[in-house]
Structure 1
Amino acid sequence: MDYAPARWLPGAHAMTVFASVARLGPRPRARRERWELPDGDFLDVDFLGAPPPDAPALVILHGLEGSSRAPYVRGLAGLALRAGLAPIAVNFRGCSGTPNRLPRFYHSGETGDLDHVVRRLAAARPGRPIVIGGFSLGGNVVVKYLGERGDDLPAEVRGGAGISVPFDLARAARALDAPGFWNLVYRERFLRRLRAKALAKARRFPESLDPAAILGARTFAAYDAVVTARLHGFASAEDYWTRCSSGQFVRGVRRPLLLVAAIDDPIVPGDSVPVEAAGANPAVTLVATEVGGHVAFVAGSPFWPSFWAEARAAAFLADAARR
């Protein structure tokens, strides 16, 4: 499945923006369930399409400030249904359209919620294969989850895939915080939403967050210091980035894992991709393309675009589920 980039989208920014705001894609029917968590919070989980009852489960994790309705989530779900998988899209805490109950949010290293989803699915249908796919932040969660647990996973978990994974969170934050027009566009698109959510959280839990500090957070370094670290028990933004970057967990992966990265990714620096660690682990398949942007990898014509990384992941995960 060699990647033939769309020539009508020259450059990483054009490809990234098109995939983010201009793609249409499938809209499989969704059935939502609210799953209670052990700490009193909840996850909203969407069961997509109408797969056969015995189809292997595909758990899909979205990226930063995405949701189960993100075009790339629905794109992978549509391909997964055609490949015989049952897609289940998880909304991270506070991302389903309903604020979560607790002061905390979600973050790049939170694998406990994913583990809860996986173990609930395994308990409901023992022996049914489960595979996991994640995009960007969600991909970081997938890689960290598989790597930190190694063989300590339910037998039902057969493999995973991560697309445009920020393997080094500090490097990704610095890339987004760097000067430049496009960095400002990406940074403000994310931070505008994150600040709004954090301010709403501060109103509900005034002892947890400082509204003035939130309003002053104009970089990811500042936001992760005054919100992410404070809410989730990290000493600082740097502590959060160090402990939650998934690149260090690649060596511990013991189930088949596909990693798809673009060297020209404007958010994930190409030289932060853990080529050596992936090459040393026979469970890991790393596909690094010269171009592709961030969660984009657009191919085909402008009238009929396709998204190569999602197709590559769907094929890999369907194969892993049936091994």
Structure 2
Amino acid sequence: MDLTLNSYYPTNLIQSVISATCCIIIIYCVIILKRRYSSIKLTCPDYPDTIQGEETTESLVRKNCASLNRGFRASWWLPNGHAQTIYSAVADFSKDDQITYQRQLLRVPDGGTIGLDIYPPLSVNLPKTAPVILINHGLTGGSHESYVRNIVLWLTKPVEEGGLGARAGVVNFRGCASTPLTSPHLYSTGSTIDLHTSVLYLSTLFPASPMFGVGFSLGAAVMTRYLGEQGDKCRLRAGVVLCCPLDMRGVTYGLDSPHPLTRLYSLTMSHKMLHSLSPHLIPTSPLSHPTSHLHIHLPEIFSLTKSLRRRMTLKASRVLELVACKVGGGTDVFPFETLDGFLSWSCPGNWIGSIKRPTLAISALDDPIVSSACLPHKAIRQSSHVILATVPQGGHLGWFEGPLLGLNKHRRWHVKPTIEFLKANLALPEGHIGPADSSQSARYDGDWTWVGEVGWMLIDEKDEKGWSGSEEDESILC
């Protein structure tokens, strides 16, 4: 036997594997470095409307948002979108940006309850013209999320410390962040009543304050739709939407990809939605009532939560089809027969052309959930007030740029362009968006306050105790 010949092949194979591995590592490093040092690209309207004088949203961004010109350099230890996204979901942020909110529960005419968390509390006196920022959280989230606490803390810092000296109101959508679910429907990207009510409520408390909006992920979709629905009558002077799923169909079906990490995101989102929904499915819940559109689907929903096999094969699109299509809003269009019908109706990208307030959308090209293929560049170019900034890196709700260790470890880049953009709009003359509609002033009827056809009643938190059956149920919400 020729041992020399036999020993040649294993050695050659090992060398080939090593060479291939080195090539893959080099290619990966080149891709990462190219993204790291690529500039942020702006997609702007082809025929923009002016805001004030000759100022447009594009000129406002180019002159004032220096952080967009400098670009974003991801933390070296979180070099790609998957790393940024996963870290934002699993890292311990409990010691960061600690905030104590003042919660206001608003009961609305459809029976629902909105949890509005305010910081600093109403007892803290700010100047009458201090800005008010409405903030929308992401899917099944709330004011407790690290990315929300971070932006709230920065926006409410004094101007001399880099903030806006603002008061923030985080809109906890019905059923989220221990907000009691008292209506037979939930929230979705197509339902803006929770945000609209919160805007009107805070505008009655602070009539002289300019108001702005910031939204994250699903909350960014709600913010985008709201700005479009309100058009030139919107009480918000400007908005920033981060990681917004502007193309709902593309995002939803993209999560059905067989790619292992995409499957992980879809599975995680499905479990979060079911976990958030579970406390609201006790027999006394409005969602469990025989008149609820969700009632007929409860057996399948329960089977999804109890069967290990089914839990491991869950898809976000299936949970949306079972839940959001049926109870994702209180309008007459519910329930939707198909997921396609719901996604078409709830798609925030449909409203881009109707937005008449300066709006900055920021998305990462390596976002594994809202991929670059889901960014509607054509709709942005055909709009009048919306700018899309595409950042080469950042993932989904990540944008970490801090060191591996130290106090700035969790520093988030997106805070900079957000504050810069809002400051630029705040500096514009107050009359640039036109006077408020005098027919929309507040009127009072007993415990109820009405602005136009929108009404609310303040509810004491203690009056809602026991709504879900036990305190243990409340502890696992969202």
Would the TM-score normalized by the shorter structure come out above 0.5?
A: yes
CA RMSD of superposed structures (Å): 1.9
Q: Which amino acid aligns with 1:224?
A: L
| Percentage of pairs with the same residue | 28
Q: Kindly indicate whether the alpha-carbon contact (under 8 Å) linking 1:76 and 1:314 is maintained by their aligned counterparts in 2.
A: no
Change (3 A) 1:119 1:186: same
SS in structure 2 at match of 1:59: strand
Larger displacement relative to structure 2 (188-197 or 100-109): 188-197
Aligned pair partner of 1:14 in 71, 83, 99: 83
Matches within 5 A, 1:191-270: 191-203=270-282, 204=285, 205-207=288-290, 208=292, 209=295, 210-214=297-301, 215-216=303-304, 218-231=314-327, 232=329, 233=334, 234-270=336-372
Q: Deviations 1:188-232 (Å, cap 9, x if unpaired)?
A: 222223223444444432423322322348222221222111124
Q: Kindly indicate whether the alpha-carbon contact (under 8 Å) linking 2:104 and 2:117 is maintained by their aligned counterparts in 1.
A: yes
Aligned to 1:287: 389
Aligned to 2:208: 127
Aligned pair partner of 1:136 in 217, 222, 226: 217
Aligned pair partner of 1:109 in 172, 190, 204: 190
Change (3 A) 1:222 1:314: same
Q: Which amino acid aligns with 1:119?
A: L
TM-score (norm 2): 0.64
Aligned to 2:264: 185
What's the CA shift for 1:276? 2.4
Larger displacement relative to structure 2 (255-264 or 181-190): 181-190
Change (3 A) 1:141 1:98: closer
TM-score (norm 1): 0.93
Q: Which has the larger radius of gyration?
A: 2
Larger displacement relative to structure 2 (136-145 or 313-322): 313-322
Aligned to 1:37: 108
Q: Deviations 1:43-92 (Å, cap 9, x if unpaired)?
A: 11111236724321001100001111000001111110122221111111
More strand by share: 1
- Partners of 1:74 and 1:133 in 2: how far apart? 13
- Partners of 1:31 and 1:120 in 2: how far apart? 15
What's the CA shift for 1:246? 1.0
- Is 1:26 the counterpart of 2:94 in the alignment? no
Aligned to 1:308: 413
What's the CA shift for 1:18? 1.4
Change (3 A) 1:40 1:183: same
Q: Kindly indicate whether the alpha-carbon contact (under 8 Å) linking 2:101 and 2:118 is maintained by their aligned counterparts in 1.
A: yes
- Partners of 2:401 and 2:381 in 1: how far apart? 27
Q: Kindly indicate whether the alpha-carbon contact (under 8 Å) linking 1:199 and 1:211 is maintained by their aligned counterparts in 2.
A: no
Change (3 A) 1:152 1:235: farther
- Partners of 1:32 and 1:145 in 2: how far apart? 23
4+ residue runs over 6 A deviation = none
Matches within 5 A, 1:53-72: 53-54=127-128, 55-72=130-147
